[in-house]
Amino acid sequence: MSFSVEERGRDNTADYRLYFRNAEGKYISPFHDIPIYADEAENIFHAVVEVPRWTNAKMEIATKDPLNPLKQDVKKGNLRYVSNVFPHKGYIWNYGAIPQTWEDPGHRDEDTGCCGDNDPIDICDIGNKVCSRGEVIRVKVLGTLALIDEGETDWKVIVINLEDPEAEDFNDIEDVRRLKPGFLEATLDWFRMYKVPDGKPENQFAFNGEFKNRDFAIKTIKDTHSFWKALISKKTDAGELNCMNTCVSDSPFCCSAGEAQAVVDSVSVFCGAAELTPSSGERSALQCFIREISHNVQ
C-alpha cells in the first residue's frame, strides 16, 4: 500500500497545506481513508508523521478542513512553533497520529477521568530514522502515556517504525527502558515542560506519569477506533470536524474522486512570487511547482 503527498501554498505560512493521495492517485483524507491497520493480526498499525524529529513547526492533521490535509497550527493569529526546551531540540521523536482513530470529547475515560481531546490518537516514533512530513509508516506499539492537556485526555502512544533495524528488539514499554535508558524520562520531561516557554503551566499526567504497557496501549487504540467508527457513520455528532472521505464506502460522508479533486483545485499553488489557482487544464503545467513524495508501505 503506497501513498504520496502534494504541497499547496508556501511552507511556514498559514496557507500551507499538504494533501494525500493513494496509489491510484485519488485524493484521500489521512484522518479517515488511510487504514488503521497495516497488519491487524499482528497489531501493526499505520501512522501519519505530522512532525519529523528535531523540527519545531507544530504541524497537524486539519480535522476541520475538507480532506484533512496537514497544516501548521495557528494560535491567536500566529503560527505555532514548539520551543527548544533544554536539552532538547524540537520534537524528540517523529510525532504523528494513527488514522481512523478519534479521542471522543463526549466520552469520559474511566481511567483518566477526563474526556477526549477531539483528535486522532497521537504517536511518538522512537525509531532511528528521521521521517518526512506526511510520511505514512508501519509501527509496532510499545506503550502509552496519558497526558492531561487543559483538562482533556491526550494519549501519547509510544511506537517504533517497523522498518527500523532495531524494531525486532522492542516489543513492550520495558524494552524501551532497558535499551534506551533515559528516553522515557526524557519523553515525560518534554511533555511536561514544552508549553512552559509560552507562559503556560506544566502539563499533568494520569497514572502519576507512569507509562502503560503494550496491551493497555493497543486496547486504548482500539477504543478510539470504535469512537471513530461511530463518527464516520454519523452515529456520533461530528461537531466542527470534517468527515469528508473518498474510501469509506458505507460512510454518509463519502464523496467522489471528482469532488475531492475540486477541493484541492480550490487551494492556491504557490508559484514563485505569485499565488495561482489552477484550472484542470493548467494543472499539468504547474506540476513543477508541486512536490510529490511517495511513501511505500509494504
> Pick from 51, 48, 56: which is nearest to 80 by CA?
56
Strand partners for 160: 140
Strand partners for 144: 157, 212
In which element (H, E) is residue 139 found?
A: strand 136-149
Amino acid letter for position 113: G
pLDDT tens for residues 10-59? 999 999 999 999 999 999 999 999 999 999 999 999 999 999 999 999 99
Domains assigned to the chain: 28-245 (3.90.80.10)
- Pairwise CA distance, residues 188 & 128, whole Å: 19
What region does 100 belong to: left with phi over 0, alpha with psi -120 to 50, or beta? left
- Pairwise CA distance, residues 28 & 39, whole Å: 20
pTM: 0.91
Write out residues in the chain with pLDDT < 50, as ranges. 271-298
> Pick from 178, 177, 179: which is nearest to 165 by CA?
179
- Pairwise CA distance, residues 166 & 161, whole Å: 9
The torsion of the CA quartet 155, 84, 142, 130, rounded to 10 degrees, works out to 120
Task: Give the pLDDT confidence score for residue 268 in this predicted structure.
Answer: 74
Task: Give the pLDDT confidence score for residue 270 in this predicted structure.
Answer: 62
Specify the DSSP class assigned to residue 246: S
Task: Give the pLDDT confidence score for residue 269 in this predicted structure.
Answer: 75
Residues in the chain, overall count: 298
